[in-house]
Chains A and B, each alone.
Chain A
Amino acid sequence: MSAANAIEAVDLRKAYGEDVQALDGLTFSVPAGTVFGLLGPNGAGKSTTVKILTTLAHPDGGSAKVAGYDILDQPAQVRESIGVVSQAGGLDREATGRENLRLQGQVFGMGGRELEQRIDELLEQFRLDDAGKRLVREYSGGMQRRLDVAQGLVHRPKVLFLDEPTTGLDPEVRAEMWDEISRLAGAGLTVLLTTHYLEEADQLAAQLAIVDKGRVVAEGTPDGLKRELRGDAIHVELGSESADEAAVREALARVEGLDQIIYDENRALHARAEDGARTVPAVLAALDGADLEVAAVTVARPSLDDVYLRFAGRTFGEAESVDDRRRTGDEKKEAVR
């Protein structure tokens, strides 16, 4: 493994029961000192990846190193080097914020003045100075989330795992969390962030891997991934019932400069064009000529949603709803929390 990588996962596999293949050969690596995003819909395998890399769960196959230590052979060293903020958080609601941080430090062998100073520092950093003495039960959602992150940092880990750090937060509070997280970058800390918010990955991650059905389908910087798509995204919703894929594709075959055509089950057509504004009239004319009725059309600069569509072959929203239905009751409970 390269010394510059804080995380290296190779061909990770994990199945739950016989039906759910959570990870299906997941491979990626995270350069030290960067914020790396794992982006994918619910059920794509992000949380399972975090559970395996943090030594909580055992992979069925594959290997991984975190902070230079093998997760299977050196789990104790891995645990010493990482901070983990899980989706559930893991706070003791019947204790104060300060007590939570103190216990976390103590299990990492910290104590005395050094620990109390570190706690003061973190409470201040996460704007919880006044709340430190109050029970966590009385905290707002945003405060709890900030304490979650503070808790992951008490022992100054080398690698911080943030599993869906802003799920369930109000947009306003989410923006605040983003500020906190971007401030963490630098100072040598490596952050692995999982999210199903495209915007969040775009904002925070220097590098990202797009995960779908337990595999990495694309990897790169957010801008690089978008640039790779070249050109604008054209989305057309077709009105006529008779619009089957073959007819649509045949109609569009004559349109010049149209690329990467995808036609999904909701009678929506996604394609890319070097110059969207100039291509749209030709597309509409071609569809009209084939008696295919158009309900709506949009042209947009590439977004991460388009990147996802390109590599996973479906839109992000679709993947979310399909995978939601497929998930087990337990995981749903998790997501609600």
Chain B
Amino acid sequence: MKALHDTRHMTVRHLMALWRQPWWIAVSLVQPVIWLLLFGALFKSVTDIPGFGSTNYIQFLAPGVVVMTAFFGAGWAGMPVIEDIDRGVIDRFLVSPVRRSSLISGRLASWSLTTAIQSLIIVVLALIVGATFANSVVGVVILIIEAILVGAAFGCLSIGLALLIRKEETLIAAVQFLVLPLSFMSVTFMQKDLMPSWMQTASDFNPLNWAVEAGRGAVTAGPDWGAIAGKTGLLVAFLCVCAFFAMRAFRTYQRAV
């Protein structure tokens, strides 16, 4: 109960900060818009490649952009944690009766809400530029859930790293090192059958890819619900591992104080 209470209070803190800087959501939408409009137009003709399957590249790309935006954003989840460390906010909470877990879950809760809003906006933008989403509301809801799951998992990872390295520059480097390779080793931009075979194998172990496959499947006609549930299960398991890592990082942080 105490953990839930504390999570709620921490969530309110982060949402208030977001509420005061609503333009931040707009800034975070610049990238997905570029992916959708420029990248989508640039690679319009890849659908002509035999075996690509889909006939509309925007249609193919849109669910990937939704998931990828959540993933990119989550990478930076550790930055405000470093600021909290520098300003003594984390230490203040550590000497209070607050539940340690709420310091992470509060961030995840507010982060998830932000992701949901962002995802909805991207879906609307995609609809405007000509994408369609099959399976109506259910499909889109599942797509957003996949985005939230992958965002929460990598958010935990970023928070854990922040607690371990406690330096913004190092965190930025670590995140950059992870983000692009994982993005390209996924079906975000390219049909799986057309990827080199080693990359296909690698993508099977890529949590971002699980989310894109499940999310895209959910908004494609004739979805394979079994496969989607399987990928979602894997994502949940990955999220648990990342959350455990973040909690351990808290302990390591405290030992270093």
Query: Which A residues contact B (CB, under 8 angstroms)?
Result: 51, 54-58, 76, 79-80, 82, 84, 86-95, 99, 103-104, 106-109, 135, 151, 337
Contact = CB atoms under 8 A, between A and B. Distances in A.
A107 B6 contact: yes
Contacts of A95: 13, 16-17
Contact of A91 (B2, B87, B94, B95): B87
6 contacts: A57-B254, A89-B87, A99-B16, A107-B98, A108-B97, A109-B2
Interface in B3-27: 5-6, 9-10, 12-13, 16-17, 20
A291 B41 CA distance: 93
Given A56-B254, A79-B97, A104-B96, A86 B89 contact: no
Interface in B237-257: 254-255, 257
* Residue from B16, B91, B255 whose CB has the most chain A CB atoms within 10 Å: B91
B106 to A, nearest CB: 10
A37 to B, nearest CB: 20
Contact of A58 (B6, B94, B95, B255): B255
B17 A87 contact: no
A255 B87 CA distance: 55
A56 B95 contact: yes
B109 to A, nearest CB: 15
Contact of A107 (B16, B20, B97, B257): B97
Nearest to B21: A94
B95 A54 contact: yes
Contacts, number: 75
Given A58-B255, A94-B17, A95-B16, A109 B89 contact: no
Contacts of B230: none
A197 B105 CA distance: 41
A103 B84 CA distance: 15
B86 interface: yes
A80 B13 contact: no
Contacts of B44: none
Contacts of A92: 13, 17, 84, 87, 89
A86 B17 CA distance: 23
A22 to B, nearest CB: 11
Interface string B83-126: 01011110111111110000000000000000000000000000
A80 B97 contact: yes
A21 to B, nearest CB: 17
* Residue from A76, A104, A135 whose CB has the most chain B CB atoms within 10 Å: A104
B257 A56 contact: yes
Interface of B: 2, 5-6, 9-10, 12-13, 16-17, 20, 84, 86-89, 91-98, 254-255, 257
A290 B237 CA distance: 84
Nearest to A50: B95
A108 B88 contact: no
Contacts of B6: 106-107
B170 to A, nearest CB: 14
A109 B97 contact: yes
A104 B13 CA distance: 11
A87 B86 CA distance: 11
Given A76-B97, A79-B96, A90 B13 contact: no
A65 to B, nearest CB: 16
B95 A82 contact: yes
Given A76-B97, A82-B95, A103-B9, A88 B88 contact: yes
A89 B88 CA distance: 6
B96 A86 contact: no
B96 A108 contact: yes
Contact of B87 (A55, A93, A99): A93
Nearest to B17: A94
Given A76-B97, A107-B96, A90 B87 contact: yes
- Nearest 10 pairs of A and B residues by beta carbon: A88-B88, A90-B92, A90-B88, A107-B98, A54-B95, A106-B9, A94-B17, A57-B257, A84-B95, A107-B96
Contacts of A103: 9-10, 12-13
Nearest to A136: B87
A208 B94 CA distance: 27
Contacts of B86: 88, 337
B91 A55 contact: no
Given A80-B97, A108-B96, A108-B97, A56 B91 contact: yes
A67 to B, nearest CB: 13
A221 to B, nearest CB: 29
Nearest to A79: B97
Nearest to A337: B86
Given A55-B95, A109-B5, 7 more contacts: A51-B257, A79-B97, A88-B86, A90-B93, A91-B87, A92-B84, A92-B87
Nearest to A151: B92
Nearest to B2: A109
Contact of B88 (A80, A82, A86): A86
A90 B12 CA distance: 18
Contact of B92 (A58, A84, A106, A337): A84
B165 to A, nearest CB: 13
A121 B204 CA distance: 59
Contacts of A55: 94-95
A56 B94 contact: yes
A322 B93 CA distance: 33
B16 A86 contact: no
A81 to B, nearest CB: 10
